[in-house]
Amino acid sequence: MPATLRDVADRANVSVRTVSNVVSGYEHVSEKMRSRVLAAIAELDYRPNPVARTLRTGRTGMLGLIVPEIDVPYFSELARDVINAAAEVGYRVMIDQTGHDHERERQLLTGEDRTMLFDGILFSPLVTRDELREMNAATSMPLVLLGEHEFDGHYDHVAIDNVRAARDATAHLLSRGRTRIAAIGAQPDESYATPQQRTAGYEMALSEAGIEPDPALLHPAAHYSRADGYAAARDLLAASIPPDAIFCYSDLLAMGAMRAVFDSGLRVPEDVAIIGIDDIEEGRYSRPTLSTVSLDTPFIAREAVARVAARIEDPDAPAEEIVAPHTLLARESTLGSGS
Amino acid sequence: MPATLRDVADRANVSVRTVSNVVSGYEHVSEKMRSRVLAAIAELDYRPNPVARTLRTGRTGMLGLIVPEIDVPYFSELARDVINAAAEVGYRVMIDQTGHDHERERQLLTGEDRTMLFDGILFSPLVTRDELREMNAATSMPLVLLGEHEFDGHYDHVAIDNVRAARDATAHLLSRGRTRIAAIGAQPDESYATPQQRTAGYEMALSEAGIEPDPALLHPAAHYSRADGYAAARDLLAASIPPDAIFCYSDLLAMGAMRAVFDSGLRVPEDVAIIGIDDIEEGRYSRPTLSTVSLDTPFIAREAVARVAARIEDPDAPAEEIVAPHTLLARESTLGSGS
DNA sequence: TTGTATGCGTTATCAG
DNA sequence: CTGATAACGCATACAA
């Protein structure tokens, strides 16, 4: 049986109030009392019960991090940084996977999942803007959106400028002399903000270079996985006039696409240059190394945690929008000399 | 203000006892009562408070998954499966990263970390056997070890047969005609079970082939990361008589080692064949694709969750040892035809 | 089968 | 500065 506050109080001959004060680091406690209590705590190996504390205070000290799949490198690298950033401000993180299941996302966000015990949520959404708006009414949980860059004043957002990131990536391919540039990652459903913004940036860069975007070069991808990138690239390469470069909306898509290029008997970047977005570590060791748009994940994690923590303190604070920096990293998959 | 059990009771004109019975799915409740209560629950949008329930029952419904780093692909893929397996039996999972910090591991295991609120722990240890034994005394938390295969009757274990897995991998390299086979991943500290067992399997395979193990070919690696694999392989390749094959104790080490081979102007597998252990998805798309020993992660996750759930039910049950199956997957990095 | 009352371990209110 | 005591929301022993 673990010792309780009451046990410590009895042992030290003080009231539970005083013990609680000492444990919680209350200012006004006499030195005598404090040391007496501290001794009792040590002797009994007392530890506060976080559950009882939560019941009383209404705070769990936990943040929920909701992602589609934790084994997607971008999300696991983000999770690492979020967990660390949260620990620094006294929060722990519970990861929930939605598995691309909209219904599951809804349950999580509306609190219909009865086991919700977070003080706040960091949510990397797959849902559409409309769905998000509906959920808004159902819950009052402090919520920060990650990577959903469509600021509507309802939620705090932390994301890169997707349009510019995509434009930068595409412009880089253009600067390497490529003209027939394909894109992988567009979503058939137009209400997803992120892919749409990336498509916009891609088309913007082409237009700026005086190139008319070719719809046949805009390839959808449902899951941003290696498999989807592979399948999409095979499709593109089988066309009568294949692309000489591919801009992938995620590094994972790019890893699959690179493999597809090789399996088609072509070379990267000589025949097809490839660039992604995310800067996962895998791309720094692949052959060739992957050019990409690097997101400052530690920055995103830190800001997101700070935002949600602030909102927990003041639920009525106006929603803020944080734009995270991004950097283009040119590696072998667009520069050559790799393979 | 969320509705409580009492609110529902008042609304339905019944006692809290009855409401609690309905919510908990108690058998003997009359249909009249049940429907009356259910209606009130719906009207008030009542949801049980999990924290209060926990304080009362002593159960949190949470499992802790303790890993060195969640962004290591093997662990993130394992985490995905553990979260899913746990959900199927009604548990949620909180991930804790130790970051290769022994002190942090100790805190987590001994419950010195005062925020411990798990019913049980799945622990992928970095600690040595001695440390683990010491911790045993300090906590009574149900604990299942993952990947630590040194059964001593204290804890439940779920792991592959490391000796055989390593022997199989090495034997595969031998069967491909390689004779100067290096290994990356040994630990300087002899008290870590897993690397030691893999080294034993490696040496066993060599001996069976009549080859005397060469200590110069046994290269340590602290973190099983791409960077460590890279550095180790560079070392090995710089030797006067470089190896013609490398057995890496993890796929991630192998990814780094492959890159090092290329950066040294050599080819995989023509000049140096490479095999890993884990079967992470990355190795199915790399160039060349990576030969490896595949661990049945879903099996490991399912068994581990089942074990810890059983131990939560009966803390005094004898410790069990589960040996997970492994399969050798020969891919391009040992067979050729890849690059 | 259902109602009443107690306690899980804390924090916080109110006196002293 | 410290002591006694009432909640927090739920589950259950005991009664009816």
Tokens 């009362």, located at residue: B56
Q: Is the CB of A22 under 7 A from strand D?
A: no
Residue B236 class from Cβ within 10 Å (0-12 exposed, 13-18 middle, 19+ buried)?
buried
pLDDT score recorded for residue B338: 46
Fold equal for A5-48 and A162-295+328-335: no
State how far the Cα of A185 lies from the Cα of A110, in Å rounded to an integer: 29
DSSP E strands, chain A: 62-67, 92-97, 120-123, 143-146, 156-160, 181-186, 218-220, 245-248, 273-278, 291-295, 321-324, 326-329
Which of A153-167, B29-43, B92-106, B218-232 has the lowest average pLDDT? B92-106
Minimal CA separation from A116 to chain B, in Å: 8
Percent of chain A beyond pLDDT 70? 93
**Averaged pLDDT for residues B210-214:** 96
> CA A180 → C1' C2, Å?
76
Q: With cut-offs at 50, 70 and 90, classify the pLDDT of residue B188.
A: confident
Torsion of Cα atoms, A16 then A18 then A24 then A27, to 10°: 170
> CA A56 → C1' C8, Å?
12
How do A143-146 and A156-160 pair as beta strands? parallel
The structure tokens listed for B224 are 């099983």
For all residues of chain B together, what is the average pLDDT?
A: 90
Which of A250-259, A297-306, B140-149, B181-190 has the lowest average pLDDT? B140-149
Closest Cα to residue B246, out of B260, B233, B262, B227?
B233
Q: With cut-offs at 50, 70 and 90, classify the pLDDT of residue B32.
A: confident
**In B 15-34, which Cβ lie closer than 7 Å to strand C?**
15-18, 21, 28-30, 32-33
pLDDT score recorded for residue A310: 92
pLDDT of B25 > 50? The answer is yes
Tokens 């995270």, located at residue: A324
Contact A230 B50 (CB under 8 A): no
pLDDT digit string (tens) for B153-180? 778 899 999 999 999 999 999 999 999 9
Q: With cut-offs at 50, 70 and 90, classify the pLDDT of residue A249.
A: very high
Sequence letter at residue A56: R
**Averaged pLDDT for residues A229-243:** 97
State how far the Cα of B243 lies from the Cα of B249, in Å rounded to an integer: 16
For all residues of chain A together, what is the average pLDDT?
A: 90
**Is CATH 3.40.50.10170 correct for B62-159+296-324?**
no
Which of A63-67, A89-93, A122-126 has the lowest average pLDDT? A122-126
Decide which of 3.40.50.620, 1.10.10.10, 1.10.260.40, 1.10.3720.10 is the CATH code for A5-48.
Answer: 1.10.260.40
> CA B61 → C1' C7, Å?
21
Which of A154-158, A270-274, B207-211, B264-268 has the lowest average pLDDT? A154-158
pLDDT of A337 > 80? The answer is no
pLDDT of B133 > 60? The answer is yes
Geometric angle at alpha carbon B14, from B13 and B18, rounded to 5°: 155
Q: With cut-offs at 50, 70 and 90, classify the pLDDT of residue A113.
A: low
pLDDT score recorded for residue A135: 66
**Averaged pLDDT for residues A86-108:** 86
Question: pTM, whole model, 2 decimals?
Answer: 0.92
Which of A65-69, B169-173, B231-235, B290-294 has the lowest average pLDDT? A65-69
pLDDT of A220 > 60? The answer is yes
pLDDT of B217 > 50? The answer is yes
Q: Is the CB of A14 under 7 A from strand D?
A: yes
State how far the Cα of A4 lies from the Cα of B259, in Å rounded to an integer: 56
How do A291-295 and A326-329 pair as beta strands? antiparallel
Secondary structure (DSSP) of A256-289: HHHHHHHHTT--TTTT-EEEEEE--GGGGTSSSP
For chain D, which bases have at least one atom within 7 A of a protein Cβ?
Answer: 1-13
Percent of chain B beyond pLDDT 90? 65
Helix (H) / strand (E) element for B294: namely: strand B291-295
pLDDT of B134 > 90? The answer is no
pLDDT of A115 > 70? The answer is no
State how far the Cα of B319 lies from the Cα of A269, in Å rounded to an integer: 55
pLDDT digit string (tens) for B276-288? 999 999 999 999 9
Note the maximum CA span of chain B. 88
| CA atoms lying within 13 Å on the CB side of residue A330 | 14
pLDDT of A339 > 50? The answer is no
pLDDT digit string (tens) for B244-257? 999 999 999 999 99
For chain C, which bases have at least one atom within 7 A of a protein Cβ?
Answer: 1-5, 7-13
Residue B182 φ then ψ, to 5°:
-90, 165
Q: Kindly list the residues from chain A whose CB atom is less than 8 angstroms away from the CB atom of residue B118.
A: none
Say which residue, B260 or A106, is predicted with more confidence. Answer: B260
A162-295+328-335: CATH topology is Rossmann fold (3.40.50)
pLDDT of B114 > 60? The answer is no
Contact A52 B55 (CB under 8 A): yes
pLDDT of A312 > 50? The answer is yes
Which of A40-44, A155-159, A244-248, A312-316 has the lowest average pLDDT? A312-316
Q: Is the CB of A47 under 7 A from strand C?
A: yes
Can you name the residues that pair with A326 across neighbouring β-strands? A295
Domain positions in chain B: 5-48, 62-159+296-324, 162-295+328-335
State how far the Cα of B95 lies from the Cα of B290, in Å rounded to an integer: 28
pLDDT score recorded for residue A338: 46
